[in-house]
Chains A and B, each alone.
Chain A
């Protein structure tokens, strides 16, 4: 019996079922291919965005009270971290920035920039009373003096450790606000070489 003759002996509904099964298998293959294509586009773009443009992070600890986490451990603030603003390592005095901890590279810390390179700072609890910030470094401090592991403990930090600039608080909703770059007047550097860049009047 020839192949065609055999086929004609198979009842009709079974033939339709076989065709249907072949079609659905084709569906699976197409879906899989589309998924792979989308995956290899979406993942690098998402990773690059989170590394280079912006991401969010939860703040833990009390070193930036009262600006961040005023409620302590009950409600942690979630902040928007802007990488794009610091892509050229340009920060101003008073900015709240996140950086890689100089003592523990697996951890990121969030502090306020007090002084830029060339400034002379009056320290609180550092082994030297006055410190001149070397080239390519910044002096960071938490707002909650005494409860903060900052430059008063580990000295000026290199700008290369800068991670992002915290611009807004996103959560909880009642604390939704833009974080201002204010420097408390008592923490102004004793002498500054660089002038802060402000918008022209």
Chain B
């Protein structure tokens, strides 16, 4: 006949099994939700907080906006879109700028008041990005055209502050690329 062990041994065993089971379940759920989160942020879109003055007045410092990644995957980024891209000089940080020119476009790089205008063509596979706040923005005028592969998503909607809730406005700087 079998004799069950002392009562505290069986209690230990059930407790351990319970805790182990719960831990595995927790880890499993964490992995599952992390993967769903990755897929959503990578392929659908997400909510982003912008910092910096380079896109004023369209996007102010500490505004919260919605970004979508479908345009990037289907190569549907247009002129005038506001995009989030990886910074060319620091891959771990993101920049938020407006697309002024696509590949093949002619960009005016000289100051509007200059007499002799200088132009640059945007090379294939690149875009020309500029912030709306031209006086206070490091953008393609500083580091050159940005490869399309660095673009992560397109910003299309602002959700904070509530006074400015809604779709984003067009560029306040008008058209900067002749020969559209």
Contact = CB atoms under 8 A, between A and B. Distances in A.
Interface of A: 40-41, 43-45, 47-49, 51-52, 88-89, 100-106, 134-137, 157-162
Given A136-B87, A160-B87, A104 B125 contact: yes
Contact of B89 (A49, A136, A157): A136
A105 B147 contact: yes
Nearest to A158: B88
B38 interface: yes
B124 interface: yes
B91 A105 contact: no
Contact of A104 (B39, B42, B86, B124): B124
Nearest to A134: B89
Interface residue SS majority, chain B: mixed
A193 to B, nearest CB: 15
B36 A161 contact: no
Nearest to B43: A47
Contacts of B124: 103-104
Given A89-B91, A162-B91, A47 B35 contact: yes
B79 interface: no
A136 B42 CA distance: 23
Interface of B: 31-32, 34-36, 38-39, 42, 75, 85-92, 123-126, 147-150
Nearest to A46: B35
Given A48-B38, A105-B75, A158 B32 contact: no
B148 A105 contact: yes
Contacts of A137: 88-89
Given A44-B32, A102-B149, A105-B149, A160 B42 contact: no
A89 B86 CA distance: 12
Contact of B125 (A52, A89, A101, A162): A101
Contacts of B39: 43-44, 47-48
A41 B32 contact: yes
A97 B101 CA distance: 30
Given A41-B32, A45-B31, A105-B125, A158 B38 contact: no
B35 A160 contact: no
Contact of B147 (A41, A52, A106, A161): A161
A102 B150 CA distance: 9
A49 B148 CA distance: 24
B88 A51 contact: no
A184 B38 CA distance: 38
A48 B91 CA distance: 20
Nearest to B148: A105
B92 A161 contact: no
A158 B89 CA distance: 7
Nearest to A40: B36
B89 A103 contact: no
Nearest to B152: A160
Contact of A48 (B34, B87, B123, B125): B34
27 contacts: A44-B32, A45-B32, A47-B35, A48-B34, A48-B38, A48-B39, A89-B92, A101-B125, A102-B125, A102-B126, A102-B149, A103-B123, A104-B125, A105-B125, A135-B90, A136-B88, A136-B89, A137-B89, A157-B147, A158-B86, A158-B89, A158-B91, A158-B147, A158-B150, A159-B91, A160-B87, A161-B150
